[in-house]
Amino acid sequence: MVYAKPPFTGPEQVLDYVGRYTHRVAISNNRLVDIEDGAVHFRWKDYRHGDRQKVMSVTADEFIRRFLLHVLPQGFHRIRYYGFLGNRYREQKLAHCRDLLGMPVSAPSESRAPKVYRDRYEQLTRRSLKQCPTCLQGQMITIETFDGVTGPPPYRDKS
């Protein structure tokens, strides 16, 4: 879903605006300065005055209203890749772009089997995801997985 206001001074400003929100949340926690007496104080960047950092204070209701303007309706997804970076023909389109730019063809990299996320996590943290996070002993075994949205299936006593 893309919503773009009519450009006031040109398409560059529209791309700048859309670019700030397509891959990030509307506001990150580190921009929140203070929450007190029903008011939320947060930092924002004033692009019209030399990218200066400023602090804005709004009521909690107004903050939530503004935040929810950036929440997508159910069933919609944020933009991931579009155009020549779209998944379907990315390899062919990137090759064509490189050809148009006169870039040399890169040698294919040695293919390695992709690491499972558990292996990568253990390599980075030196902790095992198979070990119980509470007692740090024993090995956990996956018995069943579920999507988390609907919750686990109801328990059925078969005795």
Q: Provide the pLDDT for residue 118.
A: 79
Q: What's the total number of domains in the chain?
A: 2
Output 36 or 3, whichever has higher pLDDT: 36
Supply φ then ψ for residue 58, to 5 degrees: -135, 160
Output 82 or 104, whichever has higher pLDDT: 104
Bridge partner residues of 139 (DSSP): 131
The DSSP string of 17-51 is HHHHHSSS-SS-GGGEEEEETTEEEEEEEEGGGTT
pLDDT band at 40 (very low <50, low <70, confident <90, very high): very high
Q: Is residue 151 assigned to a domain? A: no
Identify the domain containing residue 129 by its residue range.
114-144
Q: Is residue 95 assigned to a domain? A: no
The torsion defined by the Cα of 97, 101, 106 and 112, in degrees rounded to 10, comes to -30
pLDDT beyond 70 at 109: no
Q: Is residue 83 assigned to a domain? A: no
Output 37 or 111, whichever has higher pLDDT: 37
Q: Is residue 155 assigned to a domain? A: no
Q: Is residue 31 assigned to a domain? A: yes
